[in-house]
Amino acid sequence: MVNDIDLEAFRQEVKQFLADNARPEILEAGRKSTSAFAPFKEVMAWQKILADKGWAAPSWPKEYGGPGWNIFQRYIFSEECARARMPTLLPQNVQMIGPAIIGYGTAEQKAQYLPRILTGEDFWCQGYSEPGAGSDLASLKCKAEREGDEFVLNGSKTWTTYAHHANKMFALVRTDSTGKLQRGITFILLDMDSPGLEVRPMLGLDGEYEQCEVFFTDVRVPVANVIGQIDDGWSVAKYLLEFERGGSAYGAALVPAFERLLQVCNKADNRGRRAMDKPGVRRQMSDLYIQLRALEHTEKAVNSKLSHGDNPGPTASMLKILGTEVMQLFSEVQVRVAGFDALPLQTEALHVGSPVAEIGSGDFLTAMPYYLNSRAASIYAGTNEIQRSLLAKAILAQ
């Protein structure tokens, strides 16, 4: 019992809701997710179900459509969704642009955008990285020149996840080049069907189109679409990135995944052999378990700062480092446990509703693509090396 909330009763409520709403195609999307980005059609259908229940944005303040849960309820919800193998909601909407608008948007912008972010009627992509500005984001050059009540955009963005599905983008653009690099950057919202905007999907190592290039040629965007102050978009971007880095429940997702992997390790094949008996597997699983539990406890402490929309600060960098590195370790151990069963890259079988039969038992269908996708985890949202520098500056330099 925490603050007069019966957490076990809440857990049972979540389990029942998931059981009642776990459509087969949504469950299949969860089982076949190979990265932080689940199959688009099915995950957006799941978001609509959650929005109808009022559960689409667990960390949002109640006045903006959040459920009003405390940190323990949010963690239980994430954990039970992972245990039921529901697809994880795409982070751009409720985890990234939503908090940015809540923190920096005007009353009119909140009223216009937040309801449609919750329901998924609008799906947003993130226009941050450029060919010459990734981790060094302040070097971005995508230019926005003001003409009356509009900005005219020219330039490009890259690594723009699911831009080919999005109807909206939040982007950082260069509005002043005369001063410090971090100054002169503006945070702006735009429509993906704007004249002069082109999206080119890129094929990933796992055989899927997840990342995109986006090109702007004289794209006109109203000045009213600026979030925060013109030339001070860096403040909004940092705020958003702290939610992106610190708003995920890595442990809540990985602990149930570890439990499933442990079951597979202890399952005997037709010759009575177990993966757990392979040389080194027991030690690797033990090491992974210890790191997962350490991550889980650290994560609960850090994510408590997100209660009621609070800014997590530099501790978000610590959580991003821990979470992504344990995620990568899990992917490595899973491939070692799978052995030869992880070698086939069954791209077509990974599609929801695919008629292609899976090779093997299905226990390791996603092992190799998940491993490949996880290599990017320590790079996206700012490399882990950058995160360590931020921690040094924010904490050790005090």
Which of 203-207, 300-304, 314-318, 375-379 has the weakest average pLDDT? 300-304
Residues 31-66: b if buried by 16+ CB within 10 A, e if exposed: ebbbbbbbbbebbbebbebbbeeebbbbbbeeebbb
pLDDT in tens, 8-36: 999 999 999 999 999 999 999 999 988 87
- 42 neighbors 25 (Cβ within 8 angstroms): yes
244 is catalytic: yes
Report, as an integer, the average pLDDT of 283-292.
94
Residue 310, pLDDT > 60, answer no
Here the CATH number for the domain that contains residue 23 is: 1.10.540.10
| Count of domains for the chain | 3
Here the CATH number for the domain that contains residue 324 is: 1.20.140.10
Domain termination site, one of 207, 231, 255: 231
Residue 111 forms part of a structural domain: no
Which of 28-32, 273-277, 310-314 has the weakest average pLDDT? 310-314
- Mean pLDDT of all residues belonging to the chain: 89
Residue 304, pLDDT > 80, answer no
3-state SS assignment for residue 272: coil
Do 221 and 260 reside in the same domain of the chain?
Answer: no
Do 254 and 219 reside in the same domain of the chain?
Answer: no
Instruction: Please give the share of the chain, as a percent, with pLDDT higher than 90.
Output: 59
Do 261 and 219 reside in the same domain of the chain?
Answer: no
Q: Where residue 279 falls among pLDDT bands split at 50, 70, 90?
A: confident
Do 220 and 254 reside in the same domain of the chain?
Answer: no
Do 37 and 163 reside in the same domain of the chain?
Answer: no
Do 130 and 154 reside in the same domain of the chain?
Answer: yes
- pLDDT confidence of residue 88: 93
- pLDDT confidence of residue 307: 55
- pLDDT confidence of residue 246: 52
Domain termination site, one of 206, 231, 256: 231
Residue 328 forms part of a structural domain: yes
Report, as an integer, the average pLDDT of 76-100.
94
3-state SS assignment for residue 346: coil
The sign one gets for the Cα dihedral 174, 178, 184, 185 is positive
- pLDDT confidence of residue 84: 96
Domain residue limits at 296: 247-396
- pLDDT confidence of residue 72: 87
Residue 112 forms part of a structural domain: no
Residue 289 forms part of a structural domain: yes
- pLDDT confidence of residue 136: 82
Report, as an integer, the average pLDDT of 326-333.
94
Here the CATH number for the domain that contains residue 171 is: 2.40.110.10
- pLDDT confidence of residue 269: 79
- pLDDT confidence of residue 103: 93
Closest to 126 (Cα-Cα) out of 181, 172, 94: 172
Report, as an integer, the average pLDDT of 235-261.
81
Comparison of pLDDT for 360 and 143, the residue scoring more: 143
Please classify residue 202 by burial: count the beta carbons closer than 10 Å to its beta carbon, then call 0-12 exposed, 13-18 middle and 19+ buried. Answer: middle
Which of 87-91, 95-99, 261-265, 353-357 has the weakest average pLDDT? 353-357
- pLDDT confidence of residue 193: 98
Do 188 and 271 reside in the same domain of the chain?
Answer: no
Do 342 and 295 reside in the same domain of the chain?
Answer: yes
Do 225 and 346 reside in the same domain of the chain?
Answer: no
Report, as an integer, the average pLDDT of 338-345.
82
pLDDT in tens, 117-146: 999 999 999 999 999 887 788 899 999 999
Residue 79, pLDDT > 60, answer yes
Q: Where residue 383 falls among pLDDT bands split at 50, 70, 90?
A: confident
Domain termination site, one of 71, 89, 107: 89
Which of 2-16, 71-85, 177-191, 326-340 has the weakest average pLDDT? 2-16
Report, as an integer, the average pLDDT of 247-263.
87
- pLDDT confidence of residue 320: 85
Which of 111-120, 227-236, 308-317, 375-384 has the weakest average pLDDT? 308-317
Do 68 and 190 reside in the same domain of the chain?
Answer: no
- pLDDT confidence of residue 59: 86
Residue 153: its H or E element: strand 150-157
Report, as an integer, the average pLDDT of 332-354.
86
Q: Where residue 311 falls among pLDDT bands split at 50, 70, 90?
A: low
Residue of 244, 348, 358, 385 marked active site:
244
Residue 245, pLDDT > 90, answer no
Do 18 and 54 reside in the same domain of the chain?
Answer: yes
Report, as an integer, the average pLDDT of 359-388.
84
Instruction: Please give the share of the chain, as a percent, with pLDDT higher than 70.
Output: 93
Q: Where residue 341 falls among pLDDT bands split at 50, 70, 90?
A: confident
* Phi-psi group of 231: left, alpha or beta (phi > 0 → left; psi -120 to 50 → alpha; rest → beta): left
DSSP state of 289: H
User: φ, ψ for residue 276 (rounded to 5)?
Assistant: -60, -25
Using DSSP bridges, classify how beta strands 209-222 and 150-157 pair: parallel, antiparallel or unpaired.
antiparallel
Report, as an integer, the average pLDDT of 240-245.
68
